[in-house]
Amino acid sequence: MKRIAVLCGGRSAEREVSLKTGAAVAAALQNRGYEALTVDAVSDLAGQLSRLRPDAAFVALHGRWGEDGTVQGLLEMLGIPYTGSGVLASALAMDKGLSKVVLRAAGIPTPDFQRLDPSTVDCTVELELPLVVKPNREGSTVGVTVVRRAEELAGALVTVFGHGPDALAEVFVAGREVTVGFLDGAPLPVVEIVPEGGFYDYVAKYTPGRTRYLCPAPLGAEMTARVTEVAEAANGALGCRGSSRVDLIVDDEGTPWVLEVNTIPGMTPTSLLPKAAAAAGIGFDELVERILLGARLQA
């Protein structure tokens, strides 16, 4: 396995983040001696891959048309081994509503939710405030609004439906925001996220200095074990493989609530998976290579 296609860019709302991830991954692989070539998946991906004929694909795409099983299905059809989760796990994790149905069926705590559609603008959202309104199939908190007062709901719905007709309202859970990354199926140290403004939005995620990251998270041994246990259960329930990340909120009573599962964690300078790996003594280049070595066909 020598020639690697690093798939990045694409057409989702997370295109710019994906380009940064792709550039960082390609540089790391080149440092490890691979012929790593970035491939912008914005158009004719099948043609580009057919001409390039890579030994494997490192999927560095975020959001729709990359993290949702579509690219994974294409790679399966082309017979190109790829990193990360397979088609089904990718599609399930990307669909927040469906993933929460699976999590609930497995007995894993996740906040109450309601699927929304554009007609909801003229209807009543059944959940009590405060709540979070978010696109059902986006990442990086794109289009997300925390609604604390009834008069804010209409604007939140306008915002969320600007990203497509598939949306979700979720009960807001106050508490400590944490995340558990996985590498080769094993959990990495827990990271606590402390955003400057109190809400971990797109700006807080990708602007250096706007968020503090505590790793290992100062939760205490018992709570760390509980958070890790719940994250492992969520990761397994959706069938995730390779590298992934589970985002949770630990409420004031000590219950870890799973918010979502990410099958292609970011690999930018402010990303969470590299921070967790570093706390486990795994440098960035080694992390990238270990993710690559797990590449396979898996449908």
What pLDDT was estimated at residue 160? Answer: 87
Active-site hit among 14, 40, 95, 177? 14
pLDDT tens per residue, range 148-177: 998 898 899 888 888 888 889 999 999 999
What is the CATH code of the structural domain delimited by 92-109+175-291? 3.30.470.20
**Is 14 part of the annotated catalytic residue set?**
yes
pTM for the structure as a whole: 0.91
**Is 192 part of the annotated catalytic residue set?**
no
Q: Alpha-carbon distance 277 to 287, whole Å?
A: 7
Kindly state the tokens that stand for 242: 């390779």
Question: Which residues of the chain form beta strands (DSSP E)?
Answer: 3-8, 35-40, 56-59, 113-116, 131-135, 145-147, 167-171, 176-183, 186-187, 191-195, 211-214, 244-250, 256-262
Give the CATH superfamily of 113-171.
Answer: ATP-grasp fold, A domain (3.30.1490.20)
H or E element, residue 74 = helix 70-78
pLDDT tens per residue, range 214-241: 999 999 999 999 999 999 999 999 999 9
* CATH 3.30.1490.20 placement within the chain: 113-171
* CATH 3.30.470.20 placement within the chain: 92-109+175-291
What pLDDT was estimated at residue 298? Answer: 83
Architecture of domain 3-83: 3-Layer(aba) Sandwich (3.40)
pLDDT tens per residue, range 234-265: 999 999 999 999 999 999 999 999 999 999 99
Task: Say whether pLDDT at 299 is over 80.
Answer: no
- With cut-offs at 50, 70 and 90, classify the pLDDT of residue 140: low
* CATH 3.40.50.20 placement within the chain: 3-83
pLDDT tens per residue, range 4-31: 999 999 888 889 989 999 999 999 999 9
**Is 67 part of the annotated catalytic residue set?**
no
**Is 213 part of the annotated catalytic residue set?**
no
Active-site hit among 140, 235, 244, 271? 140
Calculate the average pLDDT of the chain: 91
